[in-house]
Structures are given as structure tokens and as C-alpha cells.
Amino acid sequence: MKVSIFGLGYVGVVTAACLARDGHEVIGVDVNLDKVRAVASGVSPIVEPGLADLLYAGAQAGRIRATDDITEAIEGSDVSLVSVGTPSGDRGAPFLGHVFKVVTEIAETASGHGKDHVVVVRSTVPPGTLEKCADIVAERAAGVRVHLAFNPEFLREGSAIADFNEPCYTVIGTEDDQAEAAVRELYAAVSAPFLVVSPEVAEMVKYVANCWHAAKIGFANEIGRMAKALGVDGRAVMDIIVQDTKLNVSPVYMKPGFAYGGSCLPKDVRALLYYAQTMNVPMPLIAALPSSNQLQIDAACDLVLATKPARVAVYGLAFKSGTDDLRESPAVPLVKRLLGEGCEVRIFSPDVSRPRLMGANLEYIRAVIPHFEQLLDERPVEAGKWADVVVITHPQAEFDEALQALPEGKRVVDLAGVFSERPERFEYDGIAW
């Protein structure tokens, strides 16, 4: 393909070198003439293992050149990648002016030459940015079609070429078939699955990935501080944690939904924070977990109460499916709040059987909701029909069967993501979708 890359910073230069190696013809574009001259001569303007050799080989083969002339770049390419900076403003908001300026110039230049074009934004931008780019294109690209996509990059400094060669996936945010086809062809030499999603999802993914990486670093560092205070080697602890790919390094627990609960997570977080406090070890990230979890419970309550229901059916009282454990289940404070707001509540929770509850489990629920037995209802369909709103707290097969029997128009609040797509037959709300 013939590709122009706007922005010869870290991402732009690495991408140019790798695409040229894979057989594409690349034109680098930048307002900084020093960068332009360096790339044009095959000299890397940044330090990155293996990059200098790739750039030199590309320039020698005639597959890499560089310019500050936008007209030259658009005339010589069919696809443009936008990799300009989006630096933080005073309050943290990203400055998107460089992105919009480049898209405007590409659209105007393509229009002036009567040439259809594909524009792929790679700069890190917030959701809705590609839509704004589409508005710019609609206004400035008269007489031609400019196809748009967002393609986030996940290149780490120091291993960028390896990351380009072996990504976990290639994300394409677009609803344009021609833009999608162009991105697929760009990375045809890269062995990784393509994930085609809406532009907004793709834009959000990059922010989430970086925030998650930051959270992991902060978490490991807090554990290290606490481990040292207890006379333990934090490295040895985390070495064991990361070897568990079933739970610790996996998709488990990584889906939005209701709050955590049960007899372990809340208790163990509190215990670790207690020792941190007594030993004067700051752990702000872990200290934020209980309040963050409480905010999710509050959000669920507010969502249920948004329509001021008089009667609420709650499907699921235990903290997860397949158990009768009510200890610190987030559904319990949810029910307590609903009762406090004056709602009538019926609970369908097949794993919570009065004859089986005993010990700490029974003591806990009676301390929080003394008359909980009176709220239990083993007729989920009848309870659902009776209620103004049905609340699902966790996935369970019995809940699916009951939901299928509910009348159309019933308001359903889904805290567990049991519906992969919005059900048209219900008045439906999800806690994070």
C-alpha cells in the first residue's frame, strides 16, 4: 500500500519502519524539518532497539521517504495514519487541536485533488473524536469520499518493534467497510486477530489499557511496600501471583457488574489495610477499594430507585451464583436500602434455603435484615409480574427461565450483564452498559 504517516514521533517512526519492512511504501510527514531530514535519510530520530536498522533498510530500498508538504503526501498515498501528539491541558483534558488540524488539511487536500482517501487515526483520543473528524470531513472534503477509522496502538518504548510484530490483537474502530479493509491490508503481515468495533469503543480501549497498566504497577508497588514491612520479599509474592493464569492473570473479575462481596474479599482487604495502618505503610490504591465498591452498590440502588418503584423483585441474594453465602453480599445492602426507601421487596434466590442457613451466614443476614425470611419468594415469575421492577444481581439459569416468562414492557435492571444485547421486550437498564 501507499501510506502517509502524519507525526514522526515515537509511534509514527516505529510504524513507518515496520510498515516499510512489510512491503508498504511510506511517506513520513512532520512540521519538524530535523525529523523529516533524519527519516528521509534513514536515520532514527529516537532511540529504540532495532529501529535504526529498519529505517535505514527502508530508506535504502526506496520504501521510506519524508516531507513537510501535505500535498506531496496525499498525492503519494491512498491511506493516511494520524499519529500526532495529544498532550494534556491544564486540567488534564487532552489537546486535540493537532489531530483536527491534520484531518482538516488531509480532507481539504484530498478534495482539491479530487481523490478519495482513507484516514486512520492512531493518536490517543477520547470517545467521540472520530465522530468530530467525520464532521470535519463532511465540511471540508467536498466532492470526494474520505473513509475514517480509529486504530489504537499498544507499543511500549524499548520493545516497540516486538509489540508491533506480535500484538494480542489489532483493534479497528470503524463503521466504514473501505476503511476497515484498508487497515486489514496494512497489517496483513502481522499475525493477530482483528477486532472490529465501534469507533467509540476503540477510542475508550486505549485509555482503559493504560489506566489498567498504571493500576497494576501501583498495586504491585503497594504490595511490595506492605510485604517489606512484614519482612517478606514482595517480588517472591508477586512472582507466584502472576503464575496463576486461571484467576490472577485472566479475564476473570475483569467485567463490569455488581460490587464484590462474600466472606473473603471484603475481609481480606480490610485486614491488609489494618496492618498497613498499624505499620504506617501508605496504600492509597488498595485503601480506595472499599469506597469504590460501595459506590457501585450506591449506583445500583440509585438505578433501581430512578423510577420510584413501589414494588421490587430481586433475583439473587447471595454474593454470587452457586452458593448460599450471604456474608457481605452486595445484594443485602441493596435490599436494605430499598426497604428503607419504602419499597416492598420480594426475593427469589434458589440457593438461599431457610433450612440450610446456619452459623455465621445466618447470623449475618439476621443482623442486617432481621425479617429476611418473610421476603423470600420461590415463585420468580409471580414475583416478577407483581413487581414494578425486576433486579438481577448475578447470572443464574433459574433467573433466565423466569425472565423469559415475564410480560413485555417490564422494567428490568441488570447488575450482572446477563443480556449480551439490549432486550427489546423489556424496559431495560444495565449498571455499566
Residues 6+ apart with CB under 8 A from 324: 318, 351, 352, 353, 356, 357, 361
Strands 2-6 and 79-82: parallel
Helix/strand/coil (H/E/C) assignment for every residue in 298-318: HHHHHHHHCCCCCEEEEECCC
Angle at 251 (CA atoms; ends 248, 322), nearest 5 degrees: 85
**Cβ(76)–Cβ(64) under 8 Å?**
no
C-alpha cell at 186: 496494512
CA atoms within 13 A on the CB side of 176: 21
Interatomic CA distance for residues 55 and 46, integer angstroms: 11
C-alpha cell at 429: 437498564
Interatomic CA distance for residues 214 and 178, integer angstroms: 35
Catalytic status, residue 18? no
Residues 6+ apart with CB under 8 A from 161: 14, 17, 18, 48, 49, 50, 51, 54
The phi, psi pair for 117, rounded to 5°, reads -150, 155
- Catalytic residue, from 133, 168, 264, 343: name it: 264
Interatomic CA distance for residues 206 and 130, integer angstroms: 14
Best CA proximity match to 149, nearest among 193, 101, 117, 109: 117
Q: What positions carry a catalytic annotation?
A: 264
